[in-house]
Amino acid sequence: MPAIQLRNVSKVFEGETIVLTDFSLEIEEGEFLVLVGPSGCGKSTILRLIAGLEELTAGEIYIGDKMVNDLPPKNRDIAMVFQNYALYPHMTVFNNLAFGLKLSKMPKAEIEIQVNEAARTLEISDLLQRMPKQLSGGQKQRVALGRAIVRKPAAFLFDEPLSNLDAKLRVQMRAEIKALHALLKTTTVYVTHDQVEAMTMGDRIVILNEGIIQQVGSPLDIYHQPKNTFVAGFIGTPPMNLLPVHLEAGDQPIIEGTDFQLPLTSLVDKLKSVAGNELTLGVRPEDIMLVDQADKRAHFHLPAYLAEPLGNETLVHFKLPRGEFVARSNAPLSSLATGQEVGVHFPEEKLHLFDRETGRTFSS
């Protein structure tokens, strides 16, 4: 049985702002599920609906086998970690961790044991008598995690918990949360707008846009087989290049871009499902091959509009009359420079084709 189920959930704010319509999702026991999408896509609303902090407009939410639509947050057996930590500023770290346990009427001795155990797990035992204002951002986030795990809930809900941390600390906390999940194996729903967090942390990722699920799958599935142009353009840094192309069907089909032509051979079978001729071609920056000008594999030649050396690789930007694309090259820094003419090869087996109108993929 799924640990959490949302069935045909709708949420309308103030009688007019529609955030979710007929939304359904199942989260498996022990799973680390990441909800990711741009601002305003409804991901935080979903989390708050599960937590009981927002009322449903329609639909049902189950935690375990219990419908929780009318249950207050405290009776849902969940714990939540907030973006700004939400530690009680007037309580010590110990009391922050113990507050929920005290309210549940747990005996004092038992509270002490639970809080100390959680503090040990998160290595914050020496901070227990401090006030939140005496803690660094990373320590506050650990205390917020401690407050969640100390209650041993059925599910953890994380609402962009790393957004307020600097880049270095974010990477560290990302690993710690993942390790914590591996240790506790508690069902986790994690909301973020950062696709790197989603890719690195989730067992499964749900990509949302305007309250609608765009794709659900493992990080690698989503990366390699995006179902539409939104997912393709959202996941990956830099994201997949999307270029408008025209398909010339026939025995030797050809994709025509504004400055290039790609003869297709291995994709002939796939193209049978393609309706219409106006497509969007998708190709990941790392799948584009940059070759010498004399190399026969080159589909076309273009001057590099901008070369961004990152040390281990170089991002090379190209401009076309309609659109632009980025290639990721492992070539030595000195061999690629802005303005240099290079040969570009799009490997056929790495190409993604999307319906230009609907944005849906033809590739799978």
Partner 1 sequence: MKRARPRSGIHWLLYLMLVVAALSFIYPFVWMVMATLKPEAEVAGLSLWPSRFILDHYRAVFQKIPLGRAFVNSVFVATTVTALALVFSSITGYALAKLRFRGRELVFSVILFTMMLPFQITLIPMYIMMVNFGWLNTYQALIVPGMISAFGILILRQSFLSIPQDLLDAARIDGCSELRIIFQVVWPLSKPALITVGLITFMNSWNDVLWPIIVMRDRDMMTMPQAVALFAVGGQADAQMGTILAAATLLGLPIIAAYLFLQKHFIASMASSGLKT
What residues numbered 76-105 form the site for partner 1, per CB under 8 A?
78-80, 82-84, 86-90, 99-100, 103-104
CA–CA separation, 120 vs 69, rounded Å? 35
Distances (CA, A) of 229 to 258, 280, 321: 19, 8, 20
How many CB atoms are located within 10 Å of the residue 201 CB?
24
Q: Is 351 exposed, middle or buried (0-12, 13-18, 19+ CB in 10 A)?
A: buried
Of 74-82, 181-189, 323-331, 342-350, the window that binds partner 1 (rule: CB under 8 A) is 74-82
Rg, Å, the chain Cα set: 25
CB nearer to partner 1: give 104 or 218: 104
User: Is residue 271 a contact point for partner 1 (CB under 8 A)?
Assistant: no
CB nearer to partner 1: give 80 or 262: 80
Q: Cα 327 to the chain's mean position, in Å?
A: 22
What residues numbered 120-149 form the site for partner 1, per CB under 8 A?
147
Amino acid at 116: N
Say how many Å lie between the first and final Cα of the chain, rounded.
Answer: 29
Closest approach, Cβ 100 to partner 1, in A, equals 4
Residue among 2, 30, 64, 73 that touches partner 1 (CB under 8 A): 73
Q: Is 210 exposed, middle or buried (0-12, 13-18, 19+ CB in 10 A)?
A: middle
Closest approach, Cβ 108 to partner 1, in A, equals 16
Q: Where are the alpha helices (DSSP H) in 17-84?
A: 43-51
User: Is residue 74 a contact point for partner 1 (CB under 8 A)?
Assistant: yes
CB nearer to partner 1: give 131 or 271: 131
CA–CA separation, 263 vs 261, rounded Å? 6
Closest approach, Cβ 112 to partner 1, in A, equals 17
CB nearer to partner 1: give 90 or 297: 90
Closest approach, Cβ 289 to partner 1, in A, equals 48
Closest approach, Cβ 231 to partner 1, in A, equals 30
Distances (CA, A) of 295 to 289, 298, 306, 315, 345: 11, 6, 22, 20, 10
Binding mask 149-188 for partner 1 (x = CB under 8 A): ----------------------------------------
Number of amino acids touching partner 1 (CB under 8 A): 23
CA–CA separation, 83 vs 156, rounded Å? 14
User: Is residue 16 a contact point for partner 1 (CB under 8 A)?
Assistant: no
Closest approach, Cβ 76 to partner 1, in A, equals 8
Closest approach, Cβ 29 to partner 1, in A, equals 21
Q: Which two tokens stand for residue 337?
A: 């420079």
Amino acid at 132: P
Of 67-75, 116-124, 208-216, 302-310, the window that binds partner 1 (rule: CB under 8 A) is 67-75
Closest approach, Cβ 52 to partner 1, in A, equals 8
For 182, the 3-state DSSP assignment is helix
CB nearer to partner 1: give 81 or 262: 81
The answer, yes or no, to whether the previous bond of 132 is cis (omega within 30 of 0) is no
User: Is residue 53 a contact point for partner 1 (CB under 8 A)?
Assistant: yes
Is the four-CA dihedral 264, 267, 268, 271 of positive or negative sign? negative
Closest approach, Cβ 179 to partner 1, in A, equals 24
Binding mask 294-313 for partner 1 (x = CB under 8 A): --------------------
CB nearer to partner 1: give 13 or 357: 13
344 and 305 in contact (C-beta within 8 Å)? Answer: no
Catalog residues that contact partner 1 under the rule CB under 8 A.
48, 51-53, 72-74, 78-80, 82-84, 86-90, 99-100, 103-104, 147
